[in-house]
Every structure is written in structure tokens, then in C-alpha cells.
Structure 1
Amino acid sequence: MTEGQIHNWFDKQKENLSDELLTKLRKTDPYVFEHMMIELMTRMGYKGADGEAFVTQKSNDGGIDGILNQDALGLRKIYVQVKRYAEDNTVGRQTISQFHGDLDLQGAGSGVFITTSAFTRSAEEAGKKFNIRLIDGEALTKLMIEYKVGVQVQHTFELLEIDNDFFDKRDN
């Protein structure tokens, strides 16, 4: 098997894992899903060294599902909204506009919106205009795999090659 074939095999495994992960996320309890997304953001480093991260209450949360304080005093905050939607239930412009309004009420200039589905073109345009980072299902699973949230290492393989520098030093 060539190195290229090995890379292709690993890419296919990662793609299959991504699909399985997305299916599992769509079946997860919405409140548990919120906790998972705050865990992901924390592992990505958005909580900050001395900050805290938490999920807001289940109801009357003002459109904010999670908050990450990036510093001990909570002066720099990231507001997060998550939607655990089916594949065919895309997030539209109105939902992003509503989240922008919720952010405005918090005095926030930006936020993160995470979904297990996708965003419409108009939602993507609104996200850019309102400084809201949109993470769809495909990007979400890639991040979860990269930061090892909801997944674990099954095996580790090493691909070794000849160290020519080692031999060249000996030949001189």
C-alpha cells in the first residue's frame, strides 16, 4: 500500500466518522447538545485560561444558549446559540437576525451560531453582516474530531521512513 493510499484510507475513515458523529448529534437531547457545544468551544481555547464557560438556563435564556467568559472578570464574552436540527431543516436569515437582536440586547458585537444542519445563503450573508460566526454540521464535526470532543483515539499508527541524514553523517 502506498503512502497516498494510506492517506486516502484515513480520509475516508474520518469522513465516515464525521457522518456517524453528525447522526448521533442529531439524536442527542437538545440541552445535552448545548453542553457539548460549550465543551467544544472550551477545548478550542475560547474560555481562556482564567475564564469560565456555562450553559444558560433551559428556558427564558434570552436567545443565548451558552456564554464563555474569556477572562476571570468576564469582560470579554462569547455568546453562543446552538440548534440541533435535522439535515433538511436549514437555518434561515430570520433566525440569524433574531440571534443578532439577542446579542444586541446583551451589548455584544458578535456571537457564534452552531447547528447540526446548514445555513441558507441569506443566513450566511446575515452572519457576515452581523459579525456572527456560523458553524454548520459539516464544520462542527470536523472541529469535534480535531479537538477530540465526542470521539476517542482507537489506534495510533506510525509511518516510518529511512533517516538519510543519520546515514549521511556516518559516511563523512
Structure 2
Amino acid sequence: MPIPNYQAFMQPLVSQIADGRVHSLAELKTPLCNALQISEEQRAETIASSGNRTVVSNRLGWARTYLHKAGLLSIPKPGFVQITDRGQQALQSGQTINNGYLKQFPEFLEFIRPVKDATDASADEAKTTHEDDTTPDEQIKSAWQTLNSALAEDLIELVKKQTPQFFEVLVVQMMQAMGYGGWSKDSGSATQYTGDGGIDGIINEDPLGLETIYLQAKRYTDAAVGRPDIQAFVGALEMKRARKGVFITTSRFSRDALDYVSLIEKKVVLIDGKQLAELMIKHNLGVSVKETYQVKAIDSDYFAED
């Protein structure tokens, strides 16, 4: 029998963590393989394109991701899982836990939506259209978007668990990775962790410091950054006689905060958690290339006769 697909891992995974304790995926792998009757040979089978990641680890990882997006389990820290109340309810329902079951939850439907702008149709309809009508090229693009979406959410959750000091250094490194202060690796720095006057980082865009960008970093878990926080940052910029500022948070900005920035004279850019994760992925900060696929096409010049 072939190795079961990732959906087959969902039910036994939730069952294995039903005791409510925090479990590592590593410790769960063996009992899950036993429950799914996966042979020792199959457990060692690797993904052809990766060379070292096993098929079982890959499918278990995706089962965890889908269950997490649907709210049946939480991820207290990387590599660990814990059942939620929704997960307990799923077990008690007696229903089979698979994608069909998970589609009752709006947050899961939003996650699997293959096209970002598919707002006129339900996610089920979008998914069906995606599977039935798209070309292989479109399927590759959609899969790439899904992978990046999952990566971005995992990345920002990991950033939220770091210290404020780590986050302040991170935002400076991100600005440098984007090309700001590119004249030197020492062009940016985090400020002292106390008495920073509302400024968490500085980027010198030129060697003489004639153009300086001031940074504010707020590592919030859920709370939105409101207008008072932005006003305080603008006040700190005024004290520095600065014209440019970037306010970065792991959460989001309130509507009042966004409206306020559009009204002031100073140039203040707001970057929320979603944008932060996307920028980190784009500029390879905190991530690395796992696999590379090449899509090849006919070279018409090769077949052209003189």
C-alpha cells in the first residue's frame, strides 16, 4: 500500500494529542506511522526533490498546518502541537477529520482560497474551479502561493515569540536587506533598549548620515497599534528633526492610525505583521531556500534551420 496522503494523518494526529498536553511532532511520528500501518521502508522514503526530508514528515507537517489553520490544534512553539477545544469537539463529533470537515471553519476556507481576489465565489467553488479548470502552470503558481502563505503565518508567529530586543535588531536587518543603507553593513543599528526616546532603530542612508530613517518596532501579539502610538512616534521624529520614519509591528494598525499617517507632513511608513512576513520571505531574512523547481520550455532557436 502507498503512504497515506496528508489528510489521512489528521484524524490520528488529533487523537494522539487528545490528552491536552504539548507534544512534539518528532515523538508523534512513530505512533502515527503505526496507526496508519506505514512500513519501516516507507518511513525512510524521502522526497525526491529534497533528498533528506521524508515523505512521512512532509505529510505530517501539512496535516499539522491544515489542522492549525482550522483551529483544531495550536502550535505553542516550533515543532510542537497541542489540541484546542475545537479539536476536542471534532473528536467528540465522531466525524472523520479531513479537509471536508475543516471547510466548515471560515479561517480554513480563507487559507485554502487559491486565488486572492476570488471574493465573488465561495472558497469551495474556487477550490473546485482551481482543481478542474486551471492549467499546470496555474496550479504551480497557486501551490507556491499556498506554501508562502503558510510560511508567512508560521514566520510571524515565531517572530512574536522572540524578545523585544531580537525584534528591534530584526527590523534593522530587514531594512538593510531591502537596500536601505546599502553603502555599509554597519549603516544601521538598534538603539539602546532603555531611554531610546521612542526610537528603536536607525538607518543611515549615506556615509555622512545626511539622510536618516528612524524605526519603531512593536512586537504585539494581538493588539492593534493605534493612533496614539503613531503620534508618539511622530513626536520622537520631531525631537530628532527627522523627516522619515518606519513603524513596524507584528500585529496590525487601527483605521485611526492609518488615517492619521495619511494626514501628516512627515513621511511615515507603516508595516504590519503580514507585510513584515512577506518582506522577510522576499529578502531571505529568517528563511532559506528549501527546494528549487525549474519549469522548462522548448527552445525554438535550437530547432530553427538557417
Per the normalisation by structure 1, the TM-score is 0.94
1:1-172 matched pairs, under 5 angstroms: 2-50=136-184, 52-86=187-221, 88-130=222-264, 131-167=267-303, 169-170=304-305, 172=306
Residues 82 and 113, structure 1, Cα contact 8 Å, conserved in 2: yes
Based on CA coordinates, which of the two structures has the bigger radius of gyration?
2
Counterpart CA distance in 2 for 1:100 and 1:122 is 15
Alignment partner of 1:54: what SS?
A: strand
Q: Would you say the 8 A contact 1:55–1:66 is kept in 2? A: yes
Corresponding residue number in structure 1 for 2:127 = none
What one-letter code is carried by the residue in structure 1 that aligns with 2:153?
A: D
Conserved 8 A contact 1:48-1:69:
no
- Cα offsets for 1:60-80 (capped at 9, x unmatched): 001000000111111110000
Unpaired segments of 5 or more residues in structure 2?
1-134
Three-state SS of the structure 2 residue aligned to 1:74 is coil
Q: Secondary structure at the match of 1:103?
A: helix
Q: Deviations over 1:125-162 (max 9, x none)?
A: 11222321000001111100000001000111101111
Structure 1 portions without partners, runs of 5+: none
Pick which of 158-167 and 2-11 moved more: 158-167
Aligned-pair identity (%): 40
CA RMSD of aligned residues (A): 1.3
In the alignment, is the contact (CA less than 8 A) between 2:215 and 2:245 conserved in 1? yes
Rounded Cα–Cα distance in structure 2 between residues aligned with 1:126 and 1:28: 29
Measure how far apart 1:166 and its partner are: 2.6
Q: TM-score, normalised by structure 2?
A: 0.54
Amino acid at match of 1:42: Q
Of stretches 96-105 and 123-132 in structure 1, the one that deviates more from structure 2 is 123-132
For 1:138 and 1:166, how far apart are their aligned partners in 2? 44
| Runs of 4+ residues over 2 Å off in structure 1 | 128-131
Paired residue type of 1:162: I
> SS of the counterpart of 2:140?
helix
Question: Take 2:261 and 2:281, find their aligned partners in 1: how far apart are those partners?
Answer: 24
| Cα pair 1:40 1:144 within 8 Å, conserved | yes
Note the alpha carbon deviations across 1:89-133, whole angstroms, 9 max, x for none.
Answer: 000001000100000000012200000000011101112223210
